Structure 1
Amino acid sequence: MDTVLVIGGGATGAGVARDLAMRGVDVTLVERGDFASGTSGRSHGLLHSGARYVPGDPEGAAECIAENRVLKEIAPHCLSDTAGLFVQVAGDDPDFFEEKRAACEQLGIETEELSAADAREAVPDLAEGVERALRVPDAVIHPTRLTVANAVDAREHGATLLPRTEVADLIIEDGAVRGALVEDGSGEFEIRAEYVVNATGAWAGTLASMADIDLEMAPSSGVMVAVEYADLDTVLNRARPAADGDIVVPHDEQVILGTTSVDVEDPDEFERDDAEIDRMFAECGAMLSGLDRERIDRVYWGVRPLYSADRERHAGRGISRGFHLLDHAERDGIGGFASIVGGKLTTYRAMAEATSDRVCKRLGVDSACSTAEEPLLGRDEPGRIDGLVAEFEADNPADSDVIAR
């Protein structure tokens, strides 16, 4: 019997496996597809500075800037440290810009205000309507590299990795989850464990239902459009309340335009409307000139793993992007089981730490987290990571162009 079974091989699940394995816990990580093939590998890949979430969510912003600084230390090989600009476009509320700048300063998020001329000197292709900008320490995450690095780091600390292994059912005995019945290409088999972690993101409700647990998941889809564009090396954000088409994320020879927010019931089956693509060009074009629809490389939709106990009052962008650790022994009377839901790619490591702390407490493991200090596998030999990505045949649209190059 394994000590812990982690279900879900995105950044958070791989991060949990790494954290627990580094504490000496016997871990198996299963993922129904390739690593990062769910939300992580279908994101826009922005490493948030926290500036996006102020002034409305200072707690979430504080989490982001803290993890931003950690990841730049432990995983620079999985990032591009581009910095970012929040741009005020003609017609945007100037008071919002001022409130954002003041809130960033209050939280210790580094900022620098730029005039229109200075902003264009930094980013020559800014659109004509840009009036001023706020420089912040945003960056770009390459999520496939990040997730595979976490998974393989877990393996090097003794974890077992089982990609392309789908959970058919949970094993329930004496009021507790004691493992899972899984299926891979060779057939079905059981994985028994003292504790099971549900890190399946937008699919967390589906997995929890196998234990007759109702999770109030509120997934929302968003489109990302990757366009050939070689002249941007800074993240662009619109200095207005969160809305469609307010982020442009640079890659080496492309930009990713994002995103929309549409409530969905099933994260596997939902409508993909081409009108959302048109909206990205219209809205992102207010920040960056020269976007050409004829130069689209790929279009993909991701699904946010949002959690809301009150979907009637909170939906889409109104739901907090904070994370929730649900201990089902306390919440539902089902032992040996916890779900980590919500959150952002930026905060995956903090989510993994909180989850691992709870699991270790339940198992009586007296070992502290060290993932904020210990370099992520490959930091000192960054070329190794793409070889590991190839080993696992992980090919995800969020960063497929970067991995290919």
Structure 2
Amino acid sequence: MSDIIVIGGGIAGVSAGARMANDARVILLEAEEAIGYHATGRSAAIYIRNYGNAALRALNAASEPVFLEPEGICESSLLSPRGLIYVALPEHASAIEGLLQGATGMERISPEEALRRVPILRREAVADAAMEPGAQDIDVDRLLQGFARLLRRRGGRIVTQARVNKIEREGGAWTVEAPQGTFTAPIIVNAAGAWADAIARMAGAEPLGLTPMRRSAVIVPAPEGHDVSAWPLFACAGEGWYAKPEAGKLMVSPADEDPFEPFDAWPDDMVLAEGLHRFQQAVTMPITRVERSWAGLRSFFPDRTPAVGFAPGLDGFFWLAGQGGYGVQTSPALSALAADLCAGRSSSLPDEVVRALAPERLMTN
């Protein structure tokens, strides 16, 4: 018997399990053959301080020190310089003001400065621009594997190919059945990503209205004659596309958010074609070849804020879900909060942030 069963081996579950294992006996169940198979392994892998609403920005800020000095997780910083430029097409010119409002460390730059940093942008396509110099690449694999090592070092166990097929509560404990065995603990942590509402139903908890949304991306060759390695991530302020240097090439995403059932996601050719068309309206490079394409699921609650906390009225059922596109960059703060709440401790996060994440805000009954 364990103290805590974590369901889900993405960055949310693995990081929370590692933190919780400092105080409790933890077992983590992952449905796939390896941890990080779904959203975590398909992340754009960048830390953006000004990404998301006020609660998420607070989590971003609280996570940055851990990325810079990941004591116990990795031996050196998990961040490397990248930068981020938002470019506003003429029809999106007002979007830059919205991005700058309330932002920390972001500044307006001229269209000419944007072109200097990303020379393939079309001058006539850039009406306004803003830059967040502090945006940085995250080494997601080192982060995930570092938390996994910490979990095991603290006595925790990770069981893969353990898709949950039954959950029951009896005598003050949860029993979870999976192909790898039957597991028992007084607390279960629902970190199942796109499957979190399904896990809730299995446990008799009220689903919170999670919507998995597909996000697609492709790898294309770098534009001829350009070394893209030092370019920032550059994105349409109207959220029509974004592009990021990736191993000497460009990763381009149509920034799609299509509702999708919780399955292993695959890209849609029409969505990719439309997104690449939007991208090409803003740049001078032709795209003659797509080398690779993929898709992942980013899961959101209606207010686009994660749910972190115990489900009211259901002893021992803990929500850690709905991270959307922010799961990797908020994982240090969210895992610390989850461990504190499970252990009955106060969090170092502001009270208003903890309240904004409480699952009860989403309950209908």
Alignment TM-score, normalising by the size of structure 2: 0.82
Q: Aligned partner of 1:303: which letter?
A: L
Change (3 A) 1:65 1:283: farther
Q: Aligned residue for 1:135? A: 131
- Give the C-alpha shift of residue 207 in structure 1: 1.3
Change (3 A) 1:270 1:66: closer
Stretches of structure 1 that go unaligned for 5 or more consecutive residues are 309-319, 370-405
Match of 1:334 among 294, 314, 317: 314
The answer to whether the 8 Å contact 1:10/1:37 transfers is: yes
- In structure 2, relative to structure 1, the CA distance for the partners of 1:220 and 1:154 (3 Å cut) is same
Q: Which residue number corresponds to residue 188 of structure 2?
A: 196
CA pair 89-73 structure 1, distance change in 2 beyond 3 A = farther
In the alignment, what sits opposite 1:392?
none
Q: Is the 8 A contact 1:29 1:162 kept in 2?
A: yes
1:100 counterpart residue number: 99
Q: How much has 1:286 moved relative to structure 2? A: 4.0
In 2 relative to 1, CA 219–153 (structure 1 residues): closer, same or farther, beyond 3 Å?
same
Q: Which residue of 2 aligns with 1:61?
A: 57
Unpaired runs of at least 5, structure 2 = 349-365
Q: How far, CA to CA, are the matches of 1:159 and 1:269 in structure 2? A: 27
Are the aligned partners of 1:226 and 1:299 in contact in 2 as well (CA < 8 Å)? yes
Query: How far apart, in 2, do the equivalents of 1:268 and 1:140 lie?
Result: 28
Matches within 5 A, 1:102-251: 102-104=101-103, 109-128=104-123, 129-136=125-132, 137-174=134-171, 176-184=172-180, 189-215=181-207, 216-229=209-222, 231-232=228-229, 233-240=231-238, 243-245=239-241, 247-251=242-246
Residue 351 (1) aligns with residue 345 (2): no
Report the CA distance between 1:4 and its aligned residue.
1.1
Aligned to 2:102, the other structure's residue is in SS state helix
Number of aligned positions between the proteins: 332
- Partner-residue secondary structure (3-state), 1:2: coil
Counterparts of 1:286 and 1:65, CA distance in 2: 34
Q: For the residues of structure 2 that align with 1:67 and 1:285, how far apart are their CA atoms? A: 35
Partner of 2:343: 360
Q: Which amino acid aligns with 1:97?
A: I
Counterparts in 2 of 1:102 and 1:218: CA distance versus 1, 3 Å: closer
Cα drift, residue 14 of structure 1: 0.7
Residue 173 of structure 1: CA displacement?
Answer: 0.8
Query: 1:291, CA displacement in angstroms?
Result: 5.0
Do the aligned partners of 1:87 and 1:287 also contact (CA within 8 Å) in 2? no
Coordinate RMSD, CA, aligned: 2.6
Question: Post-superposition shift, 1:301?
Answer: 1.4
Counterpart Cα distance in 2 of 1:48 and 1:253: 21
Which consecutive aligned stretches of 4+ in structure 1 deviate over 4 angstroms post-superposition?
269-272, 366-369
Match for 1:71: what amino acid?
F
Alignment check: 8 A CA contact 1:87 1:236 kept:
yes
Give, as a single letter, the amino acid of the residue that structure 1 aligns with 2:276.
F
Fraction of identical pairs, as percent: 21
